[in-house]
Structure 1
Amino acid sequence: MKDLMPSVHVRTLGQGERKVLALHCTIAHSGAWAGLAGVLGDDATFIAPDMPSHGKSPDWNEQGDLFDLLTELTVEQLTEPMDVIGHSFGAMIALRLAMEYPDLVRSAVLIEPVFFAVAKQDAPDLLAQHDHEAQPYAKALADGDMELAARLFNRMWSTDHSPRWPDLPERTRAAMTRGVHLVPAVKDDLFEDKKGLLAPDMMSRANMPILLVNGSRTHPAMPAICEGLQQRLPNASGCVIEGAGHMAPITHARDMARVIRDFWDGQP
């Protein structure tokens, strides 16, 4: 698998003693952690890789299993036991690392993990609502219109106060368009649990402290997913960032930093 793709670009943010592996969401990049790392800068050093087809990393060559590839590329950054923070699909990678490499994950903060297979089991009505709302960008992806897909995908996961597509810098729009083709490549992992992560013996392996975070203004499926994972994981807690949507680590960095500090301070 490692021969399928060169190493990803890794950004370092902050200068604190605590080493943190930070995993960004789809169609973002490692720089998305700059605000949070800035607030936590005296406490933590963020090791933040760019996913393939994102940031300064090379494009994914569309060979092999993407979720497996991302997991292998990311675990290379765990050179010692570290705290892990993941957002959206980045939180899915973080969850898998916690299960498959528990000796290297000291704790995990999972911000809005998009594990829709949990909602499929626990809140099928909310999953149906999500699927209905996702149809426009799914159609654009199927039609090969990546710019439209990125625009619709970004809008679905934004709030009313988020910048509109025409107001975003051209460079930002191009970066989102570049990465959106990864979305369908992990659909079965997220919606059908193709890797079997929901199996009790997998969940029990992630026995380190885990914090599940969602915004109060996010999609209704997200609280159900966070609550479902909290119930399944052996050492998990949860919290809500008031006023935040799906992009809480960017839009509410100070609130997120306070929550994470409290979580870290509460660990043995």
Structure 2
Amino acid sequence: MNKPASLVPQPVFSRSFGKGQRQVLAVHCSLAHSGTWRGLATELSDEVTVTAFDMLHHGRSPNWDQRGDFQDRNVAAGQSLLTQPMDLIGHSFGATVALQMALRRPELVRSLTLIEPVFFAAAKNASLLFDLKEQNRPFTDALKAGEPMVAARLFNRMWSSGAPKWPDLPETTRAAMVRAIEIVPACDPAILTDRTGLLAPGGADGLVMATLLLHGADTNPVISAVNAGLLQHLPNASLAVIEGAGHMVPISHPAEVAAALRKFWNT
């Protein structure tokens, strides 16, 4: 079922996968779209129904209108689909959106799974954050120079471990990434600073739902630091690592992620 999510300033596109009774809401990573959850949903198709939406500036959703905060607008879009208690899953920047959704409507989040969250403010490791800034420099320089295709290729190369490389991607996929790349800097306030106070004393007290922090064993070291930091703040969190996987673990290793989710949900 494909439909626009309404009751938000900019309605977004959503779709559903699977036929199981367990209701899951999933939020994709930057430069991707809701269809990237198809592999994981297929692994769980008899157990869950996955609803996924395209964030603004991605997939079939409209471009962000530059009003308000980019993360906040996607949180609002996600909340319009959170109409009953559901298991909430987010990947990368989508994990930061899911985290904020859970913080604002905890009564509607049965469980929370954050896959490779890029909430770098939680890392608390100056060396790793400096390394990340240096790794980002070629991408940010290309974007500032008005070369979005180069920027998208460099960003994809930095984070696409375990996924197809730029030359192997279909032209339509590359074009979608070029479209989305311009809003990546708009994510910085939400991922580099704790602007909502989640990491402050008592800031995460409302997040009492079971939470799974998941990353690939071969991911960027800063992600492990993020998860370690979140583990200290979230009241009911546990950690899982997928061997042989990188940042794109829900796409590259759907069977292993599905197994981790089954174990988490059944604990």
TM-score between the two structures when normalised by the length of structure 1: 0.94
- Count of equivalent residues: 262
Shift of 1:26: 0.4
1:186 to 2:190 alignment: no
Rounded to whole Å, the distance in 1 between the matches of 2:175 and 2:169 is 10
Tell me, yes or no, if the aligned pair for 1:71 and 1:97 is still in contact at 8 Å: yes
Match of 1:130 in 2: 132
Match of 2:70 among 66, 73, 92: 66
Rounded to whole Å, the distance in 2 between the matches of 1:5 and 1:55 is 18
SS at 1:79's partner residue? Answer: coil
1:105 to 2:109 alignment: yes
Match of 1:143 in 2: 145
Tell me, yes or no, if the aligned pair for 2:163 and 2:251 is still in contact at 8 Å: no
Match of 1:46 among 44, 50, 60: 50
Rounded to whole Å, the distance in 2 between the matches of 1:162 and 1:32 is 11
Rounded to whole Å, the distance in 2 between the matches of 1:53 and 1:74 is 14
Instruction: Output the amino acid matched with 2:178.
Output: T
Q: Which runs of 5+ in 1 are unaligned?
A: none
Shift of 1:65: 1.3
Shift of 1:163: 2.7
Match of 1:19 in 2: 23
Match of 2:85 in 1: 81
SS at 1:25's partner residue? Answer: coil
TM-score between the two structures when normalised by the length of structure 2: 0.95
Rounded to whole Å, the distance in 2 between the matches of 1:204 and 1:138 is 36
Tell me, yes or no, if the aligned pair for 1:11 and 1:49 is still in contact at 8 Å: yes
1:152 to 2:157 alignment: no
Shift of 1:3: 8.6
Q: Give per-residue Cα distances to partners, 1:54-88, cap 9 Å, x unaligned.
A: 11111112222111111111101000010001000
Rounded to whole Å, the distance in 1 between the matches of 2:173 and 2:16 is 21
Moved more, 61-70 or 194-203: 194-203
Rounded to whole Å, the distance in 2 between the matches of 1:163 and 1:15 is 29
1:219 to 2:231 alignment: no
Instruction: Output the amino acid matched with 2:149.
Output: E
Rounded to whole Å, the distance in 2 between the matches of 1:78 and 1:15 is 18
Instruction: Output the amino acid matched with 1:20.
Output: V
Instruction: Output the amino acid matched with 1:214.
Output: H
Instruction: Output the amino acid matched with 2:18.
Output: G
Shift of 1:165: 1.3
- Supply the RMSD in Å over aligned alpha carbons: 1.4
Rounded to whole Å, the distance in 2 between the matches of 1:242 and 1:228 is 21
Instruction: Output the amino acid matched with 1:124.
Output: A
Tell me, yes or no, if the aligned pair for 1:39 and 1:254 is still in contact at 8 Å: yes
Alpha carbons of 1:178 and 1:117: their partners in 2 closer, same or farther (altered >3 Å)? same
Tell me, yes or no, if the aligned pair for 1:5 and 1:60 is still in contact at 8 Å: no
Match of 1:228 in 2: 229
Tell me, yes or no, if the aligned pair for 1:213 and 1:238 is still in contact at 8 Å: yes
Tell me, yes or no, if the aligned pair for 1:99 and 1:202 is still in contact at 8 Å: no
SS at 2:16's partner residue? Answer: strand
SS at 1:204's partner residue? Answer: coil
Alpha carbons of 1:144 and 1:5: their partners in 2 closer, same or farther (altered >3 Å)? farther
Moved more, 133-142 or 26-35: 133-142
Tell me, yes or no, if the aligned pair for 1:51 and 1:57 is still in contact at 8 Å: yes
Match of 1:262 in 2: 263
